[in-house]
Amino acid sequence: MGGEFLKTSATARIVSVLAGCAVFVLLMITVGLPEYALVGGVLGWLVVTLIYDRKQRKQAIVYEGTTRSDIDSTIKNGRQLTQGMRRAIQRLTQIEIRQQVEELCRIAESMFDLLKKDPKDIRIVKQFISHYLEPTHKIIVKYAELATIRPMPADAVETLERTENSLKNIRAVFLKQKERMLNNDVLDLDAEIKLFETLASNITGSSSQTGKNASNKNDSGIY
């Protein structure tokens, strides 16, 4: 930590000193041994200083108005989506599909690791999460729901096949976004985003309709 450790605010220094003094007095009253009270006071000061130091690090600007807390929040959001995709495919029996989705998760998480090292990638990662990872999460969850419906609706097969065929395209898109991170390419992505959103809406839209049809059949007693 070096010199950065000492760069705490005036409030932090005052609070940490007061905490150390409070621990010292408390131990003097309860234990009555100055050496133990002194050690306890120093530890009390150190703990409070470390707490404030960690808080300041999270609030510190790491890149153009972006704080460490912003980075951590973005990564947390992304990992929640990949975890959701993994939970969804646990219900599937198709080993190849599970492997393809797992690879998508690994690509996404490798981008989060890159963001930790280079905060300048925050814009690209946020775009990736909102325009690519979130729709993919929706696609995979819908796919898993549809693939496990029993009895399977007649029109479900086409939708499932369309989703399976799209996974390679999605993988290519993910890899392209990772390459953009490596090249620090922050060009406008509107055209690519629109294409991907169209792909996602086509898949999830047809999945939803198929699911509704299956539900209606079950409700009416048709199996």
User: What number is the average pLDDT over the span 51-60?
Assistant: 58
pLDDT confidence of 188, banded at 50, 70, 90? very low
Q: Which residue has the tokens 């539900």?
A: 215
Claim to verify: residue 15 and residue 103 sit in the same structural domain? no
Claim to verify: residue 28 and residue 72 sit in the same structural domain? no
Claim to verify: residue 95 and residue 134 sit in the same structural domain? yes
Claim to verify: residue 48 and residue 87 sit in the same structural domain? no
**What stretch of H or E contains 62?**
strand 61-63
Q: What Rg value do the Cα atoms of the chain yield, rounded? A: 26
Claim to verify: residue 35 and residue 73 sit in the same structural domain? no
Instruction: Assign 185 to helix, strand or coil.
Output: coil
Claim to verify: residue 48 and residue 74 sit in the same structural domain? no
Last residue of a domain, one of 17, 39, 59: 59
Statement: residue 59 has pLDDT above 60? no
Any residues with CB less than 8 A from the CB of 13 and at least 6 apart, and which? 49
Q: What percent of the chain has pLDDT over 70?
A: 69
93, two tokens: 């029996």
Under 8 Å between Cβ of 105 and 85: yes
- The domain in which residue 49 lies consists of 2-59
Claim to verify: residue 117 and residue 212 sit in the same structural domain? yes
d(CA 78, CA 81): 5
Claim to verify: residue 133 and residue 35 sit in the same structural domain? no
Preceding peptide of 34 cis, ω within 30°: no
Last residue of a domain, one of 59, 84, 103: 59
Domain count, the chain: 2
Claim to verify: residue 97 and residue 70 sit in the same structural domain? yes
pTM of the model: 0.63
pLDDT confidence of 53, banded at 50, 70, 90? low
Claim to verify: residue 92 and residue 199 sit in the same structural domain? yes
Instruction: Assign 112 to helix, strand or coil.
Output: helix
Claim to verify: residue 211 and residue 141 sit in the same structural domain? yes
Q: Could you report the per-residue pLDDT of 95-138, keeping only the tens digit for each?
A: 999 999 999 999 999 999 999 888 888 989 999 999 999 999 99
Q: Could you report the per-residue pLDDT of 74-99, keeping only the tens digit for each?
A: 999 999 999 999 999 998 999 999 99
User: What number is the average pLDDT over the span 207-213?
Assistant: 59
Claim to verify: residue 52 and residue 101 sit in the same structural domain? no
Ramachandran assignment for 132, one of left (phi > 0), alpha (psi -120 to 50 degrees), beta (any other): alpha
